[in-house]
Amino acid sequence: MSDLSGEFIDGRYELLHRIASGGMASIYSALDTRLDRKVAVKIMHSHLAQDEAFVSRFIREAKAAAVLSHPNIVAVQDQGWNTNGVPAVFIVMELIEGFTLRDFIEERGRFSVKDTLQYLTPVASALAMAHRIGIIHRDIKPENILVSTDGRIKIADFGLAHGALIGSTMTAESSVVLGSVSYLSPEQVQRGISDSRSDVYSTAIVAYELLTGEKPFSGDSPIQIAYMHVNNRVPRVSELRNDIPEKLDDLIYRASSVNPDERPKDAGQFLAELQSITRELDPKRNQMSLELDIPIRVDQKKVKERKKKNVAPKELTVESAREPQLKENTAPVRRRTSKRVRRNRKIALLLAVSLGIAGWYALVGPGARVVVPSIVGATLEEAQSSLTPLGLNTEVAEKRFDEDIAAGKVIDSKPSGGGKIDPGGTVTIVLSKGKERYQLPVLTGLTPEAAFKSIASLPLKTGTVVEEFNSTVPNGFVISSNPGSDVKLKRDTVINLLVSKGIEQAELPIYLGKSGEQALNELTDLGFDVTSTFEFSETVPMGAVITQNPATAQAPKGGVVALVISKGSHNVFIPNLNSIEESKAIAALKDLNLKVVVKKIGKKPLKYVINMVPKFGTKVARGSTVTITVG
């Protein structure tokens, strides 16, 4: 963009000279000819003024800072479009003569504990005020913390701010791209969301850098650094220096936690802990309100040296077109007061009186409305305890699931934090039901149709059906589901079913009339469970299979096959045992399952059979008694 020095903007602001220029806008030192004072004018580059998104962001920055009235925040005084002369979208801001905190870090390295607390306290105080009315800065870093030549701390650049009072024209994704990766909270990088705890995280990283002289993570690219903020824990300051008070070390460690719930809930709580630590370190110090614009000590000799050098180191950011921080190092230009200026001063005085009356009406008079504090992330009881003292009522309008906010905590409110409402009005609240999860009923033993019906009653999806043989679940019924009923499932989880094809069948040989021993061995090798019993048979030879159950071509694999094996005929013929030695005759009869009674005559030690009853050749039933006479 060409240099506009010397131009008049809006018929009021004379551009003296350009201070700095970035990818989005240029900043000029200017003279407000109505009020005869030096100001800073930020003018959007003309080629971007045609882009609604850029213009919206530019105006949103003005609104973000304009609603904040705090001694440690750079004041925005005006915003508009120049219609006479050079077309321009502009913001008029308080002019700060001084340097950024980045300049001092690079010059001094690490700070003492006392100096660190002096720099942090006004920053936390300014953020606490913004958080109270629901505005989040989202880009806290040393480049956005200005130190005037008289030692006053000012937070600048609310271009990424978000809140109900200023709207939300930028997407969460774009805010992550525009922020500085070295100070971005993990939730901004990972999910593109942020709240007051995100500012606390960034402030804690600034504190870490002040105390150690270095950032917690470094890498070859912004993406590497962002990845480390998401996946690594910021180390304790005490690991790099041993003179850190334990409570301060713990506060910075908690405030830089990856988990937002472990951090102080907002800058107000962070400030309160800083104040407590400061009082413990210096009990004799008169503790004034730390929200007062109390300047810190600045080495004026070094200020003069820096003015001569005019050094302005740049901070690596994801956005290469980030505008530089506001600095002004030139001496004031003396001007003779013209008649027009004197006339404009009178007009300005009348306007100031009118604005004062209007402000009284809107802020403390009949037109006053209550500013709703941010209650997102609080429990219902905490929200009521914040709203009731303001004379506001609460009403739960809705309960809905949320993956990030725990059950029972506030997701949203209407009006949201920073919004205004009439005294005695009702703030409607949306409460979280926690993560949306569903319990799948037990599907085992159901038909696929019945299982699908059960799944359809929940916001889940049916997937594939796979069949396999099963020895316990009947054919056509569900064996199991994946996932099972033992876990709670997200919405639209796909449920796959395993369905039984019944018991697997195998070829079954028939062994009727064949060797029982052969049948036993071969059926066992085929995987069947074989049982065998023995019976007499008049038709089947001894040792052969009388019956087989089942006796079909196929049977369930691994099933039981029952065999009945022949013990031979139930009747036997008594053999001719005459003249056979006594012991051998007894053994032969017992082999035929016959009972033996022996009658002995004579005194010979070795006796032989001389008679049998019944006689040999007689047919008798097994188990019958045969009497033999030996002598």
Out of 133-137, 163-167, 329-333, give the one with best mean pLDDT.
133-137
- 42, 50 Cβ separation under 8 angstroms: no
Q: Are residue 557 and residue 587 in the same domain, yes or no?
A: no
pLDDT tens column, 297-322: 655 555 556 555 554 433 322 232 33
Banded model confidence at residue 12, pLDDT cuts 50, 70, 90 = very high
Is 362 among the domain residues?
Answer: yes
Do residue 623 and residue 611 come from a single domain?
yes
Q: What percent of the chain has pLDDT over 70?
A: 82
Query: Both 213 and 230 in a single domain?
Result: yes
Phi, psi of 121 (to 5 degrees): -60, -50
Per-residue pLDDT tens over the stretch 475-519: 999 999 999 988 889 999 999 999 999 988 889 999 999 999 999
Residue 165 pLDDT = 41
- What local confidence, expressed as pLDDT, does residue 532 receive? 93
Q: Which tens digit of pLDDT belongs to each residue from 25-37?
A: 889 999 999 999 9
Q: Count of alpha carbons within 13 Å of 104, Cβ hemisphere only?
A: 31
Q: Rounded to the nearest 5°, which phi and psi values hold at 129?
A: -65, -45
What pLDDT does 174 receive? 37
What pLDDT digit, counting tens, does each position of 572-623 carry?
Answer: 889 999 999 999 999 999 988 899 999 999 888 899 999 999 999 899 988 8
Domain for residue 262, yes or no?
A: yes
Taking only the tens place, the pLDDT of each residue in 524-577 is: 999 899 999 999 998 899 899 999 999 988 998 888 999 999 988 888 889 999
CATH of the domain at 527: 3.30.10.20
Range of the domain at 394: 370-432
pLDDT for position 219: 85
Q: What is the pLDDT of residues 83-136, one digit of tens each?
A: 777 788 899 999 988 889 999 999 889 999 999 999 999 999 999 998 998 888
Residues 443 and 426 in one domain: no
Q: What is the pLDDT of residue 463?
A: 93
Catalytic site includes residue 139: yes
Number of domains in the chain: 6
Alpha helices in 364-427 (DSSP H): 380-387
Q: Scanning the structure block, which residue is given the tokens 């109505």? A: 34
Q: Using CB atoms within 10 Å of the CB of residue 612, give its burial: 0 to 12 exposed, 13 to 18 middle, 19+ buried.
A: buried
What does pLDDT average to over the chain? Answer: 82
Contact (CB, 8 A) for 81 and 27: no
Of the candidates 55, 52, 40, 51, the one whose C-alpha atom is nearest the C-alpha of residue 89 is: 55
* Residue 614 domain-assigned (yes or no): yes
Helices (H) and strands (E) in the chain, counts: 15, 29
Q: What is the CATH number of the domain that holds 217?
A: 1.10.510.10
345/339 Cα distance (integer angstroms): 10
User: Which pLDDT value is given to residue 49?
Assistant: 73
Q: Among residues 32, 139, 157, 195, which one is catalytic? A: 139
pLDDT of residue 322: 36
Asked if residue 235 and residue 192 are part of one domain, the reply reads yes
How far apart are the C-alpha atoms of 600 and 594, rounded to whole Å?
A: 19
Half-sphere exposure of 355 (CA within 13 A, CB side): 6
- Report pLDDT for 32: 94
451 and 468 inside one domain: yes
